[in-house]
């Protein structure tokens, strides 16, 4: 709708916030690594090849899941990690916590809880200032074939399939804005390939979804209530063992008549000083969200694992 | 405006990838003799990487630190503690030298035969790669050059990993 307002520069606040998050989790990670020496046989994947945690809790980039199985476990091992993500937009913010377990480099089970705060927009819409949508997501991903790191002599990518079951806690409001359901499943298939000689990782995901703004605004709508295939892609360039930069794209449906939805983009930098901690900072362009256009801001995520 | 520059980034990176892919496609297929099947063949396009490794002397120095790392690492030490480590280093120098199109010949054993009985799993393989990365970092070998070598070693997992 036509109520565009100028962006407020909330960058600094976002940075300060993510700084707090980072330092508190870094402290927690210190405890993690201390216990590591007694268990040298866990977490033996190579650094950064497990990706980070994407916005719905699966291993991947920031916006899109990758075919990798999260955690640094290999085929004989179990790996696990937890994450905190904060996205600071001009008119909204998202806080998220979650955890995942990777089993034998074959199955990944993840849980994420998103809290999407509508700040002043909530007041403008009569929901109350700071009105928050909460969504819980349970994800399962299964690696079908391929090995993202070792298969360097063939074109075969690592391929996985997955489902993300999402449940939003604001059924009443969702119905009011035209969403058909407060819960839904996203199904995806993805292929990830590391071109090691080029230091380049490429991912493509095809997602079948009805979710409005990944489910924050419910599932299905007046304009469309069927599953649509959506394309998602990431490229990451490995700068060193510990640093990667990249960009992502995520196509999205547009099911709600009153709340236009745009495709998402981001450019990110990820840092993994060791296998227990990774930090991801991104500049994300999330386009129009309900009545506010140009939602661009900082995405900060920290992951600790073992 | 940033939106467009982001689009540009995505497109530029995609093109970069396409170019890299094409470069890989047009690279001459390295010939594979039966004897070399389980090892990595010579790749003429890696000659510049050989120089980045400091030639043969660079590889000799690298292998000393690599073997020290393997012995210091609890995940790999058990495999090497009773082996003829000086001999392995010599063979590794020749092998890497050949892969990087250096003026050497590899006269060591077949990869599959030499590793068959060792019971190496994926975790041990990754540990060895990490120890190699650490050694390469110590010798200031550029990350991209490191990855070019690792890309040739990675497929040998089929010969090396048996459990
Ligand atoms: C791509 C990976 C690897 C390459 C290129 C490689 C290369 C070699 C070479 C060239 C030799 C000497 C062959 C000869 O004596 O003629 C060797 C021997 C050996 N390798 Fe590997 N290797 C790899 C992975 C591993 C791993 C992961 C382990 C164990 C953690 C391992 C353990 C050994 C041992 C113990 C020997 C000595 C065996 C003996 O003397 O009987 N290797 N390797």
Whether residue A36 has pLDDT greater than 60: no
- Predicted local distance difference test score (pLDDT) of residue B70: 97
Which chain A residues are closer than 8 Å to B154 by Cβ? 149-153, 196
Whether residue B159 has pLDDT greater than 80: yes
A76–B121 CB contact, under 8 Å: yes
Residues spanned by the domain of B8: 1-30
Residues with CB under 6 A from ligand 1: B 76, 79-80, 83-84, 87-88, 91-92, 95, 108-109, 114-115, 118, 120, 124-125, 128, 153, 156, 160
The per-residue DSSP string of B42-104 comes to P-GGGHHHHHHTTHHHHHHHHHHHHHHHHHH-TTTHHHHTTS-HHHHHHHHHHHHHHHTT-S-
- Predicted local distance difference test score (pLDDT) of residue A182: 96
Which chain A residues are closer than 8 Å to B150 by Cβ? 152, 196
Distance from CA of A262 to the nearest CA of B (A): 12
B20–A152 CB contact, under 8 Å: no
Give mean pLDDT, residues A57-77. 88
Number of H helices, E strands in chain A: 3, 14
pLDDT band at A72 (very low <50, low <70, confident <90, very high): confident
For A200-255, the pLDDT digits (tens) are 999 999 999 999 999 999 999 999 999 989 999 999 999 998 999 999 999 999 99
- Predicted local distance difference test score (pLDDT) of residue A47: 66
B138: CATH: 1.10.490.10
For A89-129, the pLDDT digits (tens) are 999 999 999 999 999 889 999 999 999 999 999 999 899 99
Contact A124, A131 (CB under 8 A): no
A197–B74 CB contact, under 8 Å: no
**Of the listed ranges A38-47, A158-167, A250-259, the one predicted with least confidence:** A38-47
- Predicted local distance difference test score (pLDDT) of residue A205: 97
> Which among A238, A240, A265 has CB closest to B10?
A265
- N-terminal to C-terminal alpha carbon distance within chain A: 46
Whether residue A49 has pLDDT greater than 80: no
- Residues belonging to chain A: 306
Whether residue A194 has pLDDT greater than 80: yes
Q: In terms of domains, do B46 and B24 share one?
A: no
For B5-44, the pLDDT digits (tens) are 444 444 444 444 444 443 443 444 344 443 444 467 788 8
**CB-count exposure of residue A10 (10 Å: 0-12, 13-18, 19+):** middle
The per-residue DSSP string of A173-198 comes to HHHHHT-SBSEEEEEEEEEEEEEGGG
* Residue from B75, B79, B86, B151 to probe ligand 1 pocket by mutation (most atoms less than 8 Å from CB): B79
Q: How many domains does chain B have?
A: 2
B6–A240 CB contact, under 8 Å: no
Q: Which of B3, B20, B123, B148 to mutate to test the interface with A (most CBs of A within 10 A)?
A: B123
Q: How many domains does chain A have?
A: 1
- Predicted local distance difference test score (pLDDT) of residue A23: 37
Pairs of residues, one from chain A and one from chain B, whose beta carbons lie less than 8 Å apart: 98
Q: In terms of domains, do B81 and B107 share one?
A: yes
- Predicted local distance difference test score (pLDDT) of residue A128: 92
Give mean pLDDT, residues A68-82. 84
For A247-284, the pLDDT digits (tens) are 999 999 999 998 999 999 999 999 998 888 999 999 99
The rounded distance, in Å, linking the Cα atoms of A156 and A16 is 42
Q: In terms of domains, do B130 and B155 share one?
A: yes
- Predicted local distance difference test score (pLDDT) of residue A77: 80
Q: In terms of domains, do B61 and B135 share one?
A: yes
The nearest alpha carbon in chain A to B15 belongs to A235
Q: In terms of domains, do B73 and B125 share one?
A: yes
Buried b (16+ CB within 10 A) or exposed e, B46-68: beebbebbeebebbebbbebbbe
Q: In terms of domains, do B21 and B80 share one?
A: no
- Could you give the angle at which helices B143-153 and B122-138 cross, rounded to 10 degrees? 150
Q: In terms of domains, do B69 and B99 share one?
A: yes
Is the ipTM higher than 0.90? The answer is: no
- Within 8 A by CB and 6+ apart from B150, the residues are A152, A196, B129, B132, B133
Whether residue B81 has pLDDT greater than 80: yes
Q: In terms of domains, do B84 and B151 share one?
A: yes
A197: CATH: 2.40.160.40
Arithmetic mean of pLDDT over chain A: 85
Q: In terms of domains, do B104 and B77 share one?
A: yes
Can you tell me which residue has the tokens 């962006």? A7
Whether residue A86 has pLDDT greater than 50: yes
- Predicted local distance difference test score (pLDDT) of residue A9: 34
Q: In terms of domains, do B86 and B148 share one?
A: yes
Q: In terms of domains, do B18 and B59 share one?
A: no
A152–B148 CB contact, under 8 Å: no
pTM summary value: 0.81
pLDDT band at A51 (very low <50, low <70, confident <90, very high): confident
Q: In terms of domains, do B51 and B26 share one?
A: no
B129–A46 CB contact, under 8 Å: yes
The per-residue DSSP string of A140-179 comes to EEEEEE--TTT-TTSSPPEEEEEEEEEEES-HHHHHHHT-
Distance from CA of B49 to the nearest CA of A (A): 11
- Predicted local distance difference test score (pLDDT) of residue A142: 97
Q: What percent of chain A has pLDDT over 90?
A: 69
Residues spanned by the domain of A55: 2-305
Other CB atoms closer than 10 Å to residue A56's CB: what's the count?
Answer: 25
């Amino acid at each position: 709708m036509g109520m565009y307002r100028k962006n407020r520069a909330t960058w600094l606040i976002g940075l300060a916030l993510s700084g707090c998050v980072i330092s508190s989790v870094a402290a927690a990670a210190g405890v993690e690594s201390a216990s590591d020496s007694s268990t040298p046989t866990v977490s033996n994947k190579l650094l950064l090849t497990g990706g980070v945690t994407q916005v719905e809790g699966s291993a991947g980039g920031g916006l899109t899941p990758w075919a990798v199985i999260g955690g640094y476990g290999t085929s004989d091992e179990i790996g696990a990690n937890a994450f905190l993500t904060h996205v600071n937009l001009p008119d909204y913010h998202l806080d998220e916590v979650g955890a995942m377990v990777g089993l034998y480099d074959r199955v990944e089970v993840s849980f994420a809880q998103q809290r999407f705060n509508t700040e002043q927009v909530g007041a403008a819409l009569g929901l109350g200032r700071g009105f928050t949508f909460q969504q819980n997501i349970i994800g399962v991903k299964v690696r079908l074939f391929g090995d993202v790191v070792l298969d360097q002599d063939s074109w075969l990518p690592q391929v996985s399939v997955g489902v993300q079951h999402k449940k939003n806690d604001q059924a009443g409001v969702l119905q009011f804005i035209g969403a058909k359901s407060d819960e839904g499943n996203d199904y995806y298939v993805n292929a990830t390939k590391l071109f090691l000689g080029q230091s380049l990782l490429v991912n493509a995901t095809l997602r079948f979804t009805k979710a409005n703004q990944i489910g924050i605004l419910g599932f299905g709508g007046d304009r469309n209530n069927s599953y649509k295939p959506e394309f998602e892609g990431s490229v990451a360039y490995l700068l060193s063992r510990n640093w990667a930069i990249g960009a992502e794209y995520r196509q999205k449906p547009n099911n709600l008549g009153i709340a236009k939805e745009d495709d998402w983009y981001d450019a990110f930098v990820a840092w993994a000083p060791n296998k227990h901690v990774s930090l991801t900072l991104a500049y994300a362009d999330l386009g129009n969200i309900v009545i506010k256009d140009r939602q661009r801001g900082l995405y900060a995520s920290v992951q600790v694992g073992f | 405006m940033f939106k467009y520059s982001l689009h540009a980034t995505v497109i530029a990176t995609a093109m970069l990838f396409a170019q890299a892919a094409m470069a890989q496609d047009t690279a001459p297929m390295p010939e594979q003799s039966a004897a070399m099947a389980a090892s990595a063949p010579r790749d003429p396009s890696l000659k510049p990487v050989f120089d980045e490794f400091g030639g043969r002397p660079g590889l000799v120095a690298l292998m000393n630190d690599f073997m020290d790392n393997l012995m210091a690492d609890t995940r790999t030490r058990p495999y090497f503690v009773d082996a003829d480590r000086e001999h392995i280093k010599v063979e590794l120098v020749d092998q890497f030298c050949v892969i990087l199109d250096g003026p050497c010949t590899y006269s060591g054993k077949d990869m599959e035969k030499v590793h068959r009985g060792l019971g190496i799993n994926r975790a041990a393989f990754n540990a060895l790669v990490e120890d190699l990365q650490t050694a390469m970092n110590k010798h200031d070998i550029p990350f991209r050059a490191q990855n070019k070598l690792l890309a040739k070693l990675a497929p040998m997992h089929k010969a090396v990993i048996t459990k």
